[in-house]
């Protein structure tokens, strides 16, 4: 299971490895209301992630590591979200592996500095064209796609699957 952490939108994606090929099982977002205070948002993420882990019972969780760039405040909030994700995973004895954004991009596209759209295209190539936002619905598919990309990255590391 891959996770793209965030306090506003956390993407998640469950991928299995069947017949030497990654297969998407489920994906989605955990969205919190911007008017909620941080502790409320973190509690919602924690509860939702526990339910997802309970439902899909992934062997391991792979998470995009916090990338500290220009905005320290954002990095701290993402770190807080990661903390509750670690807690939820430990309640189910699930190991969590972190991958840097550059590693994920490199594995999926061959370029560690690839654009988000390139990563989304790679996810669709690997998992099939059906992996996309539902028509006529405003969603944050890029968060789900990032989570699926993290899951694919982890499968590559585990099984040596070739993406590009």
Sequence ranges of the domains in the chain? 2-159
Report the catalytic residues: 4, 64, 136
Q: How far is CA 43 from CA 32, 88, 149, in A?
A: 10, 10, 25
Q: Are 116 and 64 in contact (CB under 8 A)?
A: no
Q: Work out the burial of residue 117: count CB atoms within 10 Å of its CB; fewer than 13 is exposed, 13-18 middle, 19 or more buried.
A: exposed
Which of 143, 163, 141, 140 shows the shortest CA–CA distance to 152? 163
| Whole-number CA gyration radius for the chain | 15
Q: Is 154 annotated as a binding residue?
A: no
CATH topology of domain 2-159: Nucleotidyltransferase; domain 5 (3.30.420)
Q: Is the dihedral of CA 50, 51, 54, 55 positive or negative?
A: negative
Strand bridging mode 60-64 / 2-4: parallel
Q: Is 136 annotated as a binding residue?
A: yes
Predicted structure pTM score: 0.91
pLDDT in tens, the chain (164 residues): 999 999 999 999 999 999 988 999 999 999 999 999 999 999 999 999 999 999 999 999 999 997 766 778 888 888 999 999 999 999 999 999 999 999 999 999 999 999 989 999 999 999 986 666 655 455 567 899 999 999 999 999 998 877 76
**Within 13 Å, how many C-alpha atoms sit on residue 66's CB side?**
18
Give me 83's structure tokens: 């903390």
What order of strands is seen across the sheet that includes strand 9-18? 21-31, 9-18, 2-4, 60-64, 95-99
Q: Is 36 annotated as a binding residue?
A: no
């Amino acid at each position: 299971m891959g996770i793209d952490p965030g306090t506003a939108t956390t993407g998640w994606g469950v991928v299995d490895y069947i017949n030497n090929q990654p297969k998407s099982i489920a994906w989605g977002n955990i969205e919190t209301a911007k008017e909620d205070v941080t502790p409320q948002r973190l509690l919602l993420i924690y509860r939702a992630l526990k339910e997802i882990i309970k439902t899909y019972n992934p062997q391991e969780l792979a998470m995009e590591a916090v990338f500290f760039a220009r905005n320290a405040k954002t990095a701290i909030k993402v770190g807080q979200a990661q903390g509750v994700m670690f807690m939820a995973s430990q309640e189910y004895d699930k190991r969590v592996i972190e991958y840097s954004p550059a590693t994920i991009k490199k594995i999926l596209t061959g370029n560690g500095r690839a654009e988000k759209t390139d990563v989304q295209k790679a996810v669709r190539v690997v998992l099939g064209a059906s992996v996309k936002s539902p028509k006529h619905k405003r969603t944050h598919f890029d968060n789900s796609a990032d989570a699926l990309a993290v899951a694919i990255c982890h499968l590559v590391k585990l099984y040596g699957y070739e993406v590009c």
